Amino acid sequence: MTVALLVFDLDGTLVPTMEDYADQAASLMEAHLATPWHDARRDYFRTSGLPFQKQLRQLYPDRDDTDSVAERFEQWKDGYLRAIALPAPVERLFGEWRDRGFRIAISSNNMQAYVDRLAQDWPVDFALGFRPEDGFAKGEDHFRTLEARFGFGRERMVFTGDSPNDARIARDTGVAFRALLTTAFRPEDFRAVDPAIVLLDGLDQLVATLPIG
């Protein structure tokens, strides 16, 4: 089945935000949750791909004060993301792919308001984020919405992300996956999810890995 929709994680995949996120998250976890900075930073990456609120709830299941830390992180992120732009090479790739007939969507666990603000001037067809009020999140919620929006099934989608959590989401929702390698994770981290996973050194390699016909 010919691929028609290219779906992308946002942070770390399209924009280089993850190192800054990790630094800020670690500082907050050290200051408010008494976790040493380097341990907190490692834990942030280990659970990345989830909304930060859910990361903290997973990391500190016996504490009831983590949501306030997540709120501080989101307040910081609101200002930080105002300076983030889609890198020019990614924008060119999106233009080329759309010219070839592909549709492009974003599936992120960043807040929907931030995703909307970032993507409003980007060459994408649809952008989905996390809605804390109803738990709408990356995974089954997003792919069901994409099916309804574009009118075809998941067999015509490929999801690209930079974390093992993205790989698990794709596996669990029945969507083909491509793992973008960054400094955050090793190839073996992805192969632990799927030994046959397709790895990319750059987004420009994506289309060459897609099935034809």
Same domain, 204 and 103: yes
Task: Decide: 180 and 26 in contact? Cβ < 8 Å.
Answer: no
Same domain, 203 and 140: yes
Q: If you average pLDDT over residues 177-202, what whole number do you get? A: 97
Is pLDDT above 80 for 212?
no
What domain count does the chain have?
2
Same domain, 63 and 101: no
| 213 pLDDT tier (thresholds 50, 70, 90) | low
108 phi and psi, to 5 degrees?
Answer: -130, 150
Same domain, 100 and 77: no
Residue spans of beta strands (DSSP E) within 49-181: 103-111, 126-130, 157-161, 176-180
Q: If you average pLDDT over residues 195-203, what whole number do you get? A: 98
Same domain, 70 and 117: no
| Six-digit token string for 16 | 């280089």
For 76-113, write each residue's pLDDT tens digit: 999 999 999 999 999 999 999 999 999 999 999 999 99
Same domain, 105 and 42: no
Give dist(CA 188, CA 134) in Å, integer.
34
Is pLDDT above 90 for 12?
yes
For 20-67, write each residue's pLDDT tens digit: 999 999 999 999 999 999 999 999 999 998 889 999 999 999 999 999
- Which of 47, 82, 117 represents a domain boundary (last residue)? 82
Cα dihedral 128, 12, 93, 178 sign? negative
Strand-pairing partners, residue 103, are 5
User: What's the whole-model pTM score?
Assistant: 0.93
- Which of 82, 101, 131 represents a domain boundary (last residue)? 82
Which residue range is the domain that position 9 belongs to? 5-15+87-209
Taking 3-state DSSP, the helix, strand and coil percentages for the chain, each rounded to the nearest 5, stand at 50, 15, 30
Same domain, 70 and 121: no
For 137-187, write each residue's pLDDT tens digit: 999 999 999 999 999 999 999 999 999 999 999 999 999 999 999 999 999
